[in-house]
Amino acid sequence: MKFGKDNRYRLLVGLYVFVVILAGCGERSSEEFYGKTSPPSDNVMRYVSGSEPESLDPAIPTGQPEARLLMAIHDGLVEYHPKTMKPIPAIAESWEISPDVSEYIFYLRKNAVFSNGDPIKAQDFVYSFQRALDPDFLAKNAYLAYYIKYAEAYNSKLAFVKRPDGTFLLKRELEGSGAAPEVSTELFGPETEFGKSLTGPERLTVPVDEKNRAELFEKNEKLKAMAADAEFVPVAASDLGLEAIDDYTLRIKLRQSAPFFIDLLSHQFFKVVHRGAIEKHGKQWVRPENIVTSGAFRVKEHHPYDRIVLEKDPLYWDAESVRLDGIEFYPLEEATTMMNLYKAGSLYAVYNAVPPAAWIDTLREYEHEYMDHPAVTLQYYTFNVTRAPMDNEKVRKAFALAVDREALAKFRKTSKPTIDFTPIGIFPEYEEIRDRIYARELAKQGRTLEQWKAKMFDPEAARDLLAEAGFPVSRSGDAWVCPDFPIAEVEVLYNTSESNKAIAEFLQAQWRQNLGITVPLKNMEWKTFLNVRKELDYRGLGRAGWVGDYMDPFTFLKLFYTKENDSSTGWYDPKYDRLVNEANRELDPVKRFELLAEAEFFVMDQQPVIPFMTDSTNWMKKPFVKGMYPNPQTLHPWKFVYIEQDQEKWDRFAEKIMTNRDESVLSHVERLMSTQVARDAIRAQRASTDQSRPKQ
């Protein structure tokens, strides 16, 4: 062997030097900030957009990552408050809401323009909403706008039933009054011919398609008789409850009372689009060379799967207050890749739930960067209540009680345990009212709120319930056994992912340990899983998660609303619908929350689902990025975001970031809100003079 002593020595020295260099570099991570932390000199924000955005058309994508990109380039009537997510004025300078919350009047600002300089008028909003709801446009988000009068009928290709005498068949004629949430028939905003036509009682609608219509008539003899020799007039875009009263006044008439509708309007689905560009270029209007936008930033370059480069739009009505010169969005898929780029300093923030579970203990130590605030999410399991043994409420309750949620939350690291269907820490006013209503409802059953809250984990009670259901649990050696339980009829279905698997295994162990039941696990690819769960083709339990669309408890509670609900459980109860309808007709927010809480209690007491936890937002941002907050949806209105070069002013202690006052952002928000505050003041004054006027 020619491998001489000298060579060996040199090799060892070389290796040693290499290791020392590596170790030295490794030390860097124990510094104050995570990885490379230096603000960019070009005043450009660099962020992830998740998967390659489905489209830059605000009416198409449904994903949260796309929402963050689209809110930079498109503007709407209202904008999210950067911390609370509540609506603040955007293109609508101010608005008024009718007393029964079924009609909204928006007053648009006169200096809002598209990126090509064209003014943004009320007619543009009417066009944008009509287009997004067009049944041939196939928008998956269209359901968000179904509160607008006849929007659902139009989007679902339905027709009015016109009798030979020229009158339309009304919904209440068929269903009797009280079935549908009735709204005021008086016009609230300025009187117009079209406006008056919007206030009439809701007309009945039936499918345009003859085959579907025949099927419906087959099932409903009464309807068939009423619709005999009637004409079927398809619901048109012009029938929607949308009206441009003048160039800068917009009326939206809803089919029901919906106090949360204003929260919904910040969603990308309701952003304004440019009719000319769309009509000229068709689907291609979203290409960078064609696109006309309305937001604080405009599209400079789009390289699919690589980057989307935005620059500040100098024509934007609020351009003076926009502080970034541009934003670069990188479409990335892998969480580790995102974290690597973040650490290497080429990304300044990642979105929620990106840091992998294994990293969190390390990342948490970077207390200036790691965001741990609650997200408007809920992790839960569904029961297929249409199949035995899960059709038995006692069995469902036993499974719910036998899970140690505290331990699960500790195991997950980024979650808070819960037993309710609205996430914790997101709607504090609602939670307060809910406790009161729960106590009241429980008292009727001779129980207390404390007993209810013990549902977090009570294996003893769980075993008792199983026994009552006919599946006694007995002790065999060190373990519990439940020999009578039909284990072949039950499994846990989840969509393939490491974290879902970990949770499923944790729960499996809990039920084995506490009930003596070993539930088999079954995983499926996402799209397959969705189908199977929705069609109730699963046995036993299914994994589920829900992210709120807007900041109101109803965004969760609507999952059990109506017979065709999205709960994937098969659970339905008309009493629940009645409570929810009543709640949403309520103007007083306290009374409304009371009714919603009653509805929540009603459904949770039957346990069609097992809620486990609310996730935390779990993301990171560099301390030099300011005006970007860990709000419950991790949605960032970019016009408030800026890059701080002065290290003294960097964000420190992420925990306090929501309560700290950043005067520059606050004054910007206050300036925007002032127009609405003034509007409210005028109304209040008008209302008080009305009241003080002597009755004649």
Among residue numbers 408 through 467, which ones bind other proteins (CB under 8 A)? none
- Return the axis-axis angle of helices 498-515 and 405-412, rounded to nearest 10°: 150
Q: Cβ of 454: how many Cβ atoms within 10 Å?
A: 13
Mark 654-679 as b/e (b = at least 16 C-beta within 10 Å): beebeeeebeebeebbeebbebbeeb
Q: From the list 111, 116, 177, 284, which residue makes contact with other proteins (rule: CB under 8 A)? A: 284
Q: From the list 131, 172, 224, 343, which residue makes contact with other proteins (rule: CB under 8 A)? A: 343
Report d(CA 144, CA 130) in Å as an integer: 13
Say if CB 248 and CB 121 are below 8 A apart: yes
Say if CB 334 and CB 342 are below 8 A apart: no
Say if CB 498 and CB 504 are below 8 A apart: no
Q: From the list 2, 5, 444, 661, which residue makes contact with other proteins (rule: CB under 8 A)? A: 2
Q: Which is nearer to other proteins, 291 or 551 (CB)?
A: 291
Which position has the token pair 């899970």?
403
- Using CA atoms, how far residue 460 sits from 455, 485, 605, in Å, is 11, 17, 18
Q: Is residue 38 part of the contact set for other proteins (CB under 8 A)?
A: no
**Hey, what long-range contacts does 476-485 have (CB within 8 A, 24 or more apart)?**
476/516, 479/513, 479/516, 480/513, 480/514, 480/515, 480/516, 481/516, 482/515, 482/516, 482/517, 485/389, 485/515, 485/517
CB of 632 to other proteins, least distance (A): 19
Q: From the list 197, 362, 448, 531, which residue makes contact with other proteins (rule: CB under 8 A)? A: 531
Strands (E), 59-194: 78-80, 87-89, 92-97, 103-108, 158-162
H or E segment to which residue 517 belongs: none
Q: Is residue 515 part of the contact set for other proteins (CB under 8 A)?
A: no
Q: Is residue 328 part of the contact set for other proteins (CB under 8 A)?
A: no
Q: From the list 31, 42, 175, 334, which residue makes contact with other proteins (rule: CB under 8 A)? A: 334
Q: Is residue 527 part of the contact set for other proteins (CB under 8 A)?
A: yes
Number of residues that bind other proteins (CB under 8 A): 66
Site string for other proteins, 52-71 (x = CB under 8 A): x-xx----x-x---------
Mark 522-556 as b/e (b = at least 16 C-beta within 10 Å): bbbeeeebeebbeebebbbbbbbebbbbbbbbbbb
Q: What is the C-alpha radius of gyration for the chain, rounded to an integer number of angstroms?
A: 28
Q: From the list 38, 99, 116, 140, which residue makes contact with other proteins (rule: CB under 8 A)? A: 140
CB of 566 to other proteins, least distance (A): 5
User: Per CB under 8 A, which region of 71-79, 339-347, 398-406, 407-415 contacts other proteins?
Assistant: 339-347
Q: Which is nearer to other proteins, 120 or 327 (CB)?
A: 327
Q: Which is nearer to other proteins, 525 or 588 (CB)?
A: 525
Q: Is residue 341 part of the contact set for other proteins (CB under 8 A)?
A: yes
Q: From the list 40, 43, 44, 51, which residue makes contact with other proteins (rule: CB under 8 A)? A: 51
Q: Is residue 228 part of the contact set for other proteins (CB under 8 A)?
A: no
Q: Is residue 523 part of the contact set for other proteins (CB under 8 A)?
A: no
User: Per CB under 8 A, which region of 284-292, 309-317, 386-394, 399-407 contacts other proteins?
Assistant: 284-292
CB of 34 to other proteins, least distance (A): 10
- The residue type of 686 is R
Report d(CA 193, CA 191) in Å as an integer: 7
User: Per CB under 8 A, which region of 101-109, 117-125, 231-239, 298-306 contacts other proteins?
Assistant: 298-306
Q: Which is nearer to other proteins, 55 or 660 (CB)?
A: 55
Q: Is residue 288 part of the contact set for other proteins (CB under 8 A)?
A: no
User: Per CB under 8 A, which region of 18-26, 175-183, 232-240, 586-594 contacts other proteins?
Assistant: 18-26
- Return the axis-axis angle of helices 574-584 and 589-604, rounded to nearest 10°: 170
Q: How far apart are the first and last CA of the chain?
A: 117
Q: Is residue 7 part of the contact set for other proteins (CB under 8 A)?
A: yes
- CA 481 from chain centre, in angstroms, equals 41
On the question of a cis peptide bond just before residue 608, with omega within 30 degrees of 0, the verdict is no
Among residue numbers 197 through 216, which ones bind other proteins (CB under 8 A)? 207, 209
Q: Is residue 194 part of the contact set for other proteins (CB under 8 A)?
A: no
Mark 327-343 as b/e (b = at least 16 C-beta within 10 Å): bbbbbbeeeeebbebbb
Q: Which is nearer to other proteins, 36 or 410 (CB)?
A: 36
Q: Which is nearer to other proteins, 52 or 96 (CB)?
A: 52
Among residue numbers 627 through 686, which ones bind other proteins (CB under 8 A)? none
Q: Which residues pair with 97 in a beta bridge?
A: 104
CB of 100 to other proteins, least distance (A): 26
CB of 43 to other proteins, least distance (A): 20
Report d(CA 623, CA 36) in Å as an integer: 11
Which position has the token pair 């029964």?
100
User: Per CB under 8 A, which region of 120-128, 225-233, 329-337, 604-612 contacts other proteins?
Assistant: 329-337
Q: From the list 135, 234, 356, 374, which residue makes contact with other proteins (rule: CB under 8 A)? A: 135
- List the structure tokens of 24: 């030295």
Q: Is residue 15 part of the contact set for other proteins (CB under 8 A)?
A: no
CB of 36 to other proteins, least distance (A): 6
User: Per CB under 8 A, which region of 271-279, 342-350, 635-643, 664-672 contacts other proteins?
Assistant: 342-350
Q: From the list 226, 357, 487, 532, which residue makes contact with other proteins (rule: CB under 8 A)? A: 532
Total residue count of the chain as it appears in this document = 696
Give the 3-state secondary structure of residue 97.
strand
Q: From the list 196, 222, 280, 283, which residue makes contact with other proteins (rule: CB under 8 A)? A: 283
- The residue type of 553 is P
Judging by beta carbons within 10 Å of its beta carbon (0-12, 13-18, 19+), is residue 281 exposed, middle or buried? middle
Q: Is residue 575 part of the contact set for other proteins (CB under 8 A)?
A: no
User: Per CB under 8 A, which region of 131-139, 351-359, 418-426, 434-442 contacts other proteins?
Assistant: 131-139
- List the structure tokens of 310: 């935005």
The sign of the torsion formed by the CA atoms of 294, 285, 251, 562 equals: negative
Q: Which is nearer to other proteins, 145 or 437 (CB)?
A: 145
Say if CB 614 and CB 423 are below 8 A apart: yes
CB of 365 to other proteins, least distance (A): 16
H or E segment to which residue 244 belongs: strand 242-246
Q: From the list 158, 244, 395, 503, which residue makes contact with other proteins (rule: CB under 8 A)? A: 158
Q: Is residue 340 part of the contact set for other proteins (CB under 8 A)?
A: yes
Report d(CA 150, CA 158) in Å as an integer: 9
Q: Contact residues for other proteins (CB under 8 A)?
A: 1-4, 7, 11, 21-22, 25-26, 28, 35-36, 51-52, 54-55, 60, 62, 135-136, 138, 140, 142-143, 152, 155-158, 207, 209, 283-287, 303-307, 330, 332-334, 336-337, 340-341, 343-346, 525-532, 534, 546, 564, 566
